[in-house]
């Protein structure tokens, strides 16, 4: 884990601003870190060198060919997201958390462009999804987060 | 079966020597063993980094759960009853998945609360044995995600659970290290350290009744030796004037007062402070146990007894470096 190079930080911040109208001010107090496999974390200012920290704060994005926002990012800063939001109903929320991809009626996504979207349930930011053509939302939850939610 | 308590199938049998030890520890050993045989209550705390207690409570009660507030911590609740039509005995709640609440045994919330006033102004904290992160995440919430917590754990396998819990609860002010505390660089000092030391976990028998079958008195020796090393090292990593909270979920004096006693003997700069958490009264530390005589100052430590507080057993010592 190293301090994130400025051009990667700018790429993440620029993408989130352009796609989700997400203002960068909420994370100004934080440090961006780069970890393996393109992962970008948001964490505190580095205060120790040895032993070297393995992980800082939360994973907020993955930067490879494109920028992929993380579920943790939306769950933490989702209330600041202004567009590319899809509201799920109870049943869709349950299915999404079991790891399924879901298809919803195109009328409900008229305002959204294909690409990464924030999923929401009763105003609660839930997760990141990948919106494809014809209302398909590809599941982006890591397998470790799949679960059967009973009460919602 | 009371629905507010989890069930287990292990037939609970207390080894005779264990009950004999309890007779030296508490005036009412039968009440203690009976309390240890009670399955634990289900409890959670609200994560202030993501929501507030009123909102979380309203949502969870709307599912049909009956919640009982915890008198000594406004953010904590006991789930007294799940809805009758729950598909599972312990249904998974959306707020758990989103990290708005964290299921946590009540006693394990106490160590961060015992250093609450220090945490609210702390800039740098070492959580020396952090995994799986229940106390780390509570500390981060009490710090309002400000300052920095160095969350360390020696066991690589447990660091994964730590990462998962920190991420789920939106903790940003943490740096995770995977290092043996005993080999921590001596120039990295901290004004505030939490050492929730590895222990026999005897205080968690309610949740882990299998511990009874594995119980041997010799277990305490091995744990105590490691705890002494960790406590001495953690104390050496304090800045002058710094504060160290030592905690275990063991009832055994060998892992608690006995370890603190060694520290007091070997580090004259160490002193104990009384432990105060609003609206809860702790039992004092034990200065004599069977043939052992500890430094009388250990009575300033705090004990949480399952039969007194209806929680797991816990031990805490607030140690100041002069």
Q: Between chains, do B173 and A50 touch, taking CB under 8 Å as contact?
A: no
Phi, psi dihedrals of residue B112, rounded to the nearest 5°: -60, -35
Non-local CB neighbours of B123 within 8 Å, separated by 6+ positions: B147, B148, B191
**Omega prior to A51 cis, within 30 of 0:** yes
Give yes or no for B176 touching A (CB within 8 A). Answer: yes
B window 216-255, beta carbon within 8 A of A: none
pLDDT at A135: 93
Q: Among candidates B107, B109, B101, which has minimal Cα distance to B67?
A: B101
CA gap B8, B247 in Å, rounded: 27
* Phi, psi for residue B163 in degrees, rounded to 5: -60, -45
CA distance A102 to A86: 12
Number of H helices, E strands in chain B: 12, 15
pLDDT in the model for residue B3: 41
What number of CA atoms fall less than 13 Å from residue B245's CA on the CB side? 28
Q: In this complex, do A53 and B176 lie within 8 Å of one another by their Cβ atoms?
A: yes
Say if CB A34 and CB A3 are below 8 A apart: yes
Q: What is the predicted pLDDT for the residue at B9?
A: 58
Q: Which of B49, B124, B172 sits opposite A47 (nearest CB)?
A: B124
Nearest to B148 among A47, A124, A152 (CB): A47
Tell me which H or E stretch contains B124. strand B124-127
The nearest alpha carbon in chain A to B49 belongs to A76
* Sheet of strand B101-103, all strands in order from the earlier edge strand to the far edge: B66-70, B73-81, B43-46, B101-103
| Cα-trace Rg, chain A | 16
Task: With residue B151 as reference, give the H or E element that holds it.
Answer: strand B148-152
Evaluate whether B166 touches B141 at the Cβ level (below 8 Å).
no
3-state secondary structure of A20: helix
Residue A32, min C-alpha distance to chain B (Å):
11
Residue-by-residue pLDDT tens, chain A, 152 positions: 899 999 999 999 999 999 999 998 888 889 999 999 999 999 999 888 889 899 999 999 999 999 999 999 999 999 999 999 999 999 999 999 999 999 999 999 989 999 999 999 999 999 999 999 889 999 999 999 999 999 99
Predicted confidence at residue B6, as pLDDT, reads: 47
E strands, chain A, in order: 2-3, 31-34, 39-43, 55-56, 58-63, 67-69, 85-87, 102-103, 115-121, 124-131, 136-139
10 Å CB burial of residue B129 (0-12, 13-18, 19+) is buried
Please give the helix or strand (H or E) that residue A11 lies within, else none.
helix A6-20
What pTM, to 2 d.p., does this model score?
0.95
Nearest to B167 among A50, A72, A151 (CB): A72
Confidence (pLDDT) at B2 = 44
ipTM: 0.96
Q: How far apart are CA B244 and CA B234, in angstroms?
A: 8
CA distance A68 to chain B (A): 17
Residue B249 appears among annotated catalytic residues: yes
pLDDT the model gives residue B1: 39
Predicted pLDDT of residue B200? 95
Condensed to tens digits (0 to 9), the pLDDT of residues A99-139 reads 999 999 999 998 999 999 999 999 999 999 999 988 999 99
Using 50 as the pLDDT threshold, list the residues of chain B that sit under it: 1-4, 6
CB atoms within 10 A of CB A137: 23
Give φ, ψ of B68 to 5 degrees. Answer: -120, 125
- Unique residue bearing structure tokens 């911040």: A13
């Amino acid at each position: 884990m190293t301090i994130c190079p400025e051009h990667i930080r700018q790429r993440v911040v620029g993408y989130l601003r352009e796609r989700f109208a997400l203002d960068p001010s909420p994370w100004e107090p934080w440090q961006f870190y780069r970890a393996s496999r393109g992962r970008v974390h948001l964490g505190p200012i580095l205060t120790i060198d040895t032993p070297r920290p393995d992980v800082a704060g939360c994973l907020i994005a993955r930067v490879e060919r494109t920028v992929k926002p993380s579920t943790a990012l939306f769950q933490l800063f989702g209330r600041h997201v202004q567009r590319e939001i899809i509201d799920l109903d109870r049943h869709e929320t349950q299915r999404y958390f079991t790891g399924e991809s879901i298809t919803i009626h195109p009328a409900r996504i008229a305002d959204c462009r294909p690409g990464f979207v924030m999923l929401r349930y009763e105003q609660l930011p839930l997760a990141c999804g990948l919106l494809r053509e014809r209302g398909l939302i590809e599941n982006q939850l890591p397998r470790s987060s799949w679960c059967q939610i009973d009460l919602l | 079966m009371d629905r507010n308590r989890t069930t287990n199938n292990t037939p609970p049998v207390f080894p005779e020597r264990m009950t004999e030890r309890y007779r030296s520890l508490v005036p009412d050993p039968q009440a203690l063993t009976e309390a240890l045989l009670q399955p634990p209550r289900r409890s959670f705390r609200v994560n202030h980094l993501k929501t507030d207690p009123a909102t979380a409570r309203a949502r969870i009660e709307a599912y049909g759960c009956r919640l009982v507030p915890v008198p000594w911590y406004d953010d904590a609740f006991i789930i007294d009853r799940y809805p009758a039509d729950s598909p599972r005995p312990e249904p998974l709640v959306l707020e758990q998945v989103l990290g708005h609440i964290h299921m946590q045994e009540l006693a394990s919330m106490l160590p961060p609360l015992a250093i609450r006033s220090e945490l609210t102004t702390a800039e740098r904290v070492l959580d020396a044995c952090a995994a799986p992160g229940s106390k780390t995440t509570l500390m981060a919430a009490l710090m309002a995600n400000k300052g920095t917590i160095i969350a360390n754990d020696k066991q690589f396998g447990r660091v994964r659970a730590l990462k998962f819990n920190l991420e789920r609860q939106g903790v940003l002010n943490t740096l995770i290290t995977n290092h043996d505390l005993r080999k921590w660089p001596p120039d990295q000092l901290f004004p505030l350290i939490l050492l929730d030391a590895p222990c026999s976990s005897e205080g968690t028998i309610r949740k882990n009744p299998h511990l009874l079958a594995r119980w041997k008195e010799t277990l305490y020796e091995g744990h105590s030796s490691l705890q002494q090393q960790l406590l001495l090292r953690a104390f050496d990593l304090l800045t002058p004037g710094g504060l160290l909270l030592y905690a275990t979920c063991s009832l055994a004096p060998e892992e608690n007062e006995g370890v603190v006693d060694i520290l007091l003997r070997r580090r004259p700069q160490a002193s104990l402070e009384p432990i105060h958490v609003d609206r809860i009264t702790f039992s004092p530390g034990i200065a004599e146990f069977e043939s052992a005589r500890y430094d009388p100052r250990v009575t300033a430590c705090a004990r949480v007894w399952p039969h007194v507080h209806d929680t797991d057993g816990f031990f805490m010592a607030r140690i100041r470096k002069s």
